[in-house]
Structure 1
Amino acid sequence: PDTSEIRVIFQPMNRVLTVPAGTPLFDAIGLAGIAIESICGGKGTCGKCRVILTAGTCTAAPEAGTGCRLTQKERDEGYFLACQVTLTRDAEFTIPVESRIDSPQILITLPVAPAGIEPAVMRYRVETAPSNGLPFASRSIRFAGYSGLRPRISDEQYKALLAAETPQEATLSTARSPPAVLAISPAGTASPLYGVAIDLGTTTVVGCLARLDTGAILATASSLNRQITYGEELLTRIGYSGSPAGLATLQRAAVSSINDIIETLARTAGISRTEILDTCIAGNTVMNHLLCGINPRYLELADAPVSRSPIQKNARDLGLAVHPDAGVYCLPNVSRFVGGDAIGDMITAGIHTSDEVSLLVDLGTNGEIVLGTRHWTASVSCASGPAFEGAGIRAGMRAMRGAIDHVHVDPVTGKVCWSTIGSAPPRGICGSGIIDLAVAMVQTGALDFAGKLNSRHPQVRTGPEGAEYLLVVAPETGTGRDIAITQQDIDYLMDSKAAACGAIAVLLKKYKCAVADIRHLYLAGAFGAYTDIANAVSFGILPRFTAATVHSIGNGSLSGAYATLVSTRYRMAAEELARHMVYIDLLVDTAFAEEYAAALYIPGKQELFPPSS
């Protein structure tokens, strides 16, 4: 085998990298620190990781893997899919604008401090018993005001306490059992107690730094989850984790993503990372498994039993860049795809304290839906989210600069108009824009109630993949290429909307709730924050809840993690919710097939969409 080293240049970043011959181009892009779109995890099917060979040579996989996503014209112009290329000689590539992940719009909402601050880490004054002639090592100590299990204390800490000539304080963590003494310091000299709450999302990671004694939030930060390189969909990552090496890679990527956030938070607040003494993390079931190095392959099985106890570790065990003995509390999972993030949403929404029937909908990369009151809750999950985040759509992209985020029909001219994030030339269309566009296409006759493009409409033409709707012509775009929505894109969007609406319908049917019975609709995440809810109802993603008050709770996952960080009462509430929540696995539920089929029309079943009052 060729063991020589080759040089690869990436433009327009002017990034130069030396790698061994035979290195996959996709890996080299990651080593160069360049974030590039990838949904399929390197299978060559999503077509998002496009690059242009501008100098040198490379070896590409057979065209059978790429022909469905690259046209002959693109191949003639030097386009390749990065995941299908092996570097064999010096080469230079351009990463086109549509392939770059550039400053994505990440939702950060500041959590509200709970009424009572009761953190798992507190400081206590130390009292030592008089010697009374006892040997040095036999003297006892106690922590004033503390009642609970006897805490662990190292020999060094014990000796330091007994030898101290001034009053001392102990920083005590009850995050794990038995409790542990984290630090000893002279009374009144220690710095404030700090903790970090993290929302470990499939796509993004968001965190906040808080004072544990007051609940005050000192800094927030966000970034993309480094696991994206290995696939955007949960099932893709589960597949990648099938080998010990793959699982270790994804675990390191999750830890690195969180450590990036921690570094930013500590720097912003002007503190040392080792001053962070507690960490609470809310993530879906797969993210929790991957973070903690637990093989998630069994989650592919329908009705697989999932532990509902919270995963708790020491920071040292995971490699988190905080105090090595800091506790790490992962909000408990409920099922295969209803995890700690949904529990965080529930805590934020307050459904567990309300007598009124509420519905919680979180359509992220994975869709999680919960129905209930403080007396009972039931949940389902559905694979609907990616389409509403721009994934799986040929012209789809993340919510970042240049993404078409809203579309509407001009009431006077009847023309379809659009706006972009940052008012930049359009590069593609993100989730909120796709939903708006679907409704606009129905209103203008370009799309029928069955989700089929009308070939007689002036904006509908025949493209390389069949019928497509031309939204923006090439001269007006930021990529120099037309932005069009294909029939395949519409089919995928219809499938996603039917999955979401069908999942909600199953919950309503199981618990004999009509749409008028729902008093509160809680929408979590970017879907709730940025989507035009009226359009989501018109298209048929959400039923028309005629008597419900709609609440957008922002990043409920982060808010829930923060609540459990500053109050152990919320940890108990989270565990209670997870223990008693019913989960309905739609893969084996016969009612879902019926509800899904009925939702494959715009908007859907008549009883779910009564006329507006």
Structure 2
Amino acid sequence: MSTREQTPVQQKVTREIRVIFQPMNRVLTVPTGTPLFAAIGMAGIAIESICGGKGTCGKCRVILTSGTCMAAPETGTSCRLTQKERDEGYYLACQVTLTGDAEFTIPVESRIDSPQILITLPVAPGEIEPAVVRYRVETAPSDGLPFASQSIRFAGYSGPRPRITDEQYHALLAAETSQAATLSTVRSPPTVLAIAPAERVSPLYGVAIDLGTTTVAGCLARLDTGAILATGSTLNRQITYGEELLTRIGYAGSPAGLATLQKAAARSINDVIETLIRTAGIRSTDILDVCIAGNTVMNHLLCGINPRYLELADAPVSRVPIQKTAQEIGLAVHPDAGVYCLPNVSRFVGGDVIGDMITAGMHTSEEVSLLVDLGTNGEIVLGTRHWTASVSCASGPAFEGAGIRAGMRAMKGAIDHVHVDPVTGEICWSTLGSAPARGICGSGIIDLAVVMVQTEALDFAGKLNFRHPRVRTGPEGAEYVLALAPVTGTGRDIMITQQDIDYLMDSKAAACGAIAVLLKRYKCSVAGIRHLYLAGAFGAYADIGNAVRFGILPRFTAATLHSIGNGSLSGAYATLVSTRYRTAAEELARHMVYIDLLVDTAFAEEYAAALYIPGKQELFPPLS
């Protein structure tokens, strides 16, 4: 029998090809057939992507400068490149398969460069009462008893009998010098994490983390004093798989997808931890407790829990805080360190909102307050210490630059504020880092919308006016030109299309309509709100006056405005250094009412009324 007859099925040989990414001069060797989007991730390059590789957002532009590749056929939903761009070699990375050696340029508008991540130093919560405490060990006299019958106790400790390994127990009995035991009460029964000679013990450290959909921020604190020693932040590595929560839920539908997102979340937190320990000069194993505030989807993904059921309206969500060990989820700290996730409330109201409420002090206030956090998702809470009610809405992405053709996250070159010069009448703007304009971020988009209304380029129904000198007809219809190509950092005009305006109007109507539902349900007028708490980047960077003029927020005539910054991180820090705040967090989650707007009949009415600028008259009373 010939050799050919013995091997009738020929094995397909996958050829290795070389890919170069400029201007990073990053070289990568991958098999033929590798998706370009995956190769960019393998090369460690952060690139814009909102749709998670579906080809609909058009943000992951690359330029083929040499070599070959194969692009998927464009459809009506994925055609996000103009003919001119295609002629210049532009591709969407998520729609390209590598077929041979190639060199690509990642253009400036596609790069994630120096993002502005909000970190506000948490306020000390008062009495320090951490979940990890060190106790002096006392060994009872043997009184002639056998070695194994001798006992130990922790001076000053009262509580359930701690769990201790045989190795730790015998080491304590055999010690010739005074010993100290580090005890974690995160779980029941409490666990002895470490033992050491009393004269050589080091401080106890813990980490608080804000696990956001887009960004991750953290702080390192001494557990015995509450002192903050370092802060750090990074982008959430999950953004490669889509910026929207529903996109990530879909990606996590398979075991492999869930594992990928779990590892991405853990690696993102570890990136922050690496910054913290390097700044403070400590070892990662010195960190003995971790508190995490994240939204419901982030908590699920980090802990490896399939989030697919969260797609269902009014899906019941456990309000019991998820607790793991660091080893279970792959965090680079002491392997037995407890990981406490602030409790979730509903599908899209999670531990991050509970952290905001703790920071705002809503759990102790007698006055009616409204908390608004417009991030990638929008969460709103109304109430007092006696009652609280919450809603969530898909409004945040537009206010972070997502879903807008020229939109970008807040990073170098983003137009962050726009105004009309009162003397010349010219449209003026500023950029982050004073760099040439690459696009426009959330705060700039809100300002621009108000400027367009003021200059009559945009009417009260959100329609562009062709009679305005800055409005022209583009490939997608009407568009407003903010900056011409010669003065931009991309060499292309920066404009806002009618489609962008429609998306922005939808987002602002969702936010305002959600607030209106809460006010109506609990019979509160805008004058009845005494405190308005704004959390996150929206509250820190947006012009709140313009947010009211455009109709994102109602005009609360009697409210005191509080910008609480990264309230999620501050709330996580409070629960890190005081178990009393863990109790408060769990009480807040347990008793909060959640209204799912997908099944609430009043929302459709309020949303429709908010599709005008600014909105319903009772929500926007005239200034006296």
Q: State the alpha-carbon separation in 1 of the partners of residues 66 and 487 from structure 2.
A: 29
Q: 1:596 aligns with which of 595, 598, 607?
A: 607
1:437 maps to which residue?
A: 448
Matched letter for residue 581 of structure 1: M
CA displacement 1:191-219 (0-9 Å, x = unmatched)? 00000000000000000000000000000
Q: How many angstroms does 1:68 deviate by?
A: 2.7
Q: Which residue in 2 is equivalent to 1:52?
A: 63
Structure 2: how far apart are the matches of 1:35 and 1:66? Answer: 24
Please give the TM-score of this superposition, normalised by the length of structure 2.
Answer: 0.98
Identity fraction in percent: 88
Match of 1:125 among 136, 154, 168: 136
**Residues 565-595 of structure 1: per-residue CA shift (max 9 Å, x gap):** 0000000000000000000000000000000
Match of 2:546 among 530, 535, 540: 535
CA distance in 2 between counterparts of 1:457 and 1:110 reads: 45
Task: Please state whether the residue corresponding to 1:570 is helix, strand or coil.
Answer: helix
Q: CA deviation at 1:413?
A: 2.0
Aligned to 1:88, what secondary structure does the other structure show? strand
What is the match of residue 551 of structure 1? Answer: 562
Whole-angstrom distance in 2 between the partners of 1:178 and 1:244: 32
1:72 aligns with 2:89: no
- Residue matched to 1:396: 407
2: CA distance, partners of 1:324 / 1:537: 48
Of the candidates 167, 175, 183, which is equivalent to residue 178 of structure 2? 167
For the 8 Å contact 1:124–1:146, the answer to whether it is kept is: yes
SS in 1 for 2:324: strand
Match of 2:200 in 1: 189
Letter in 2 for 1:57: T
Q: Distance in 1 between matches of 2:426 and 2:451?
A: 10
**Are 1:581 and 2:574 an aligned pair?**
no
Deviation at 1:356, TM superposition (A): 0.3
Structure-1 separation of matches of 2:615 and 2:591: 32
**Any gaps of 5 or more consecutive residues in structure 1?**
none
Give CA deviations for 1:431-461 in whole Å, capped at 9, x if unaligned: 0000000000000000000000001100000
SS for the counterpart of 2:162 is coil
Whether the 8 Å CA contact 2:204–2:222 is kept in 1: the answer is: yes
Letter aligned with residue 89 of structure 1: G
Quick one: distance in 1 between partners of 2:145 and 2:467?
A: 97
The answer to whether the 8 Å contact 1:208/1:219 transfers is: yes
Task: Name the structure 2 match of 1:145.
Answer: 156
In the alignment, which residue of structure 2 is the partner of 1:505?
516
Alpha-carbon offset, residue 65 of structure 1: 6.2
Paired residue type of 2:384: T
1:212-291 equivalent positions in 2, closer than 5 A: 212-291=223-302
The match for 2:333 is: 322
Corresponding residue of 2:107: 96
The answer for the alignment partner of 2:469 in structure 1 is: 458
Letter in 2 for 1:567: S
Q: 1:21-63 CA deviation, whole Å, 9 max, x = no partner?
A: 1000000000000000000000000000000000000000002
Contact (CA 8 Å) 2:56, 2:78: kept in 1 or not? no
Deviation of 1:167 after TM superposition, in Å, equals 1.1
Q: Residue 27 in 1 paired to residue 38 in 2?
A: yes
**Partners of 1:317 and 1:242 in 2: how far apart?**
21
Partner of 2:188: 177
List 4+ stretches of structure 1 deviating above 2 A. 65-68
Q: Which amino acid aligns with 1:551?
A: H
Contact 1:47-1:66 within 8 A present in 2 as well: no
Secondary structure at 1:58 match in 2: strand
SS of 2:44's equivalent in the other structure is: coil
Q: TM-score with structure 1 length normalisation?
A: 0.99
- Counterparts of 1:612 and 1:150 in 2: how far apart (Å)? 63
What is the root-mean-square deviation in Å for CA atoms of aligned residues? 0.7
Structure 2 residues not aligned, in runs of 5+:
1-11
User: Could you tell me how far apart the structure 2 residues matched to 1:63 and 1:281 are?
Assistant: 41
Instruction: Tell me the SS of whatever aligns to 1:279.
Output: strand
From 77, 89, 97, give the equivalent of 1:86. 97
2:496 is matched with which residue: 485, 501, 505?
A: 485
Secondary structure of the residue aligned to 2:19 is strand
Matched, 1:414 2:437: no
Aligned position for 2:534:
523
Q: Tell me if structure 2 keeps the 8 A contact 1:2–1:22.
A: no
Letter in 2 for 1:441: M
1:108 is aligned to 2:140:
no
1:345-384 mapped onto 2 (5 Å cutoff): 345-384=356-395
Deviation at 1:66, TM superposition (A): 6.9
Which of 442, 466, 469 matches 2:480? 469
Q: Secondary structure at the match of 2:261?
A: helix
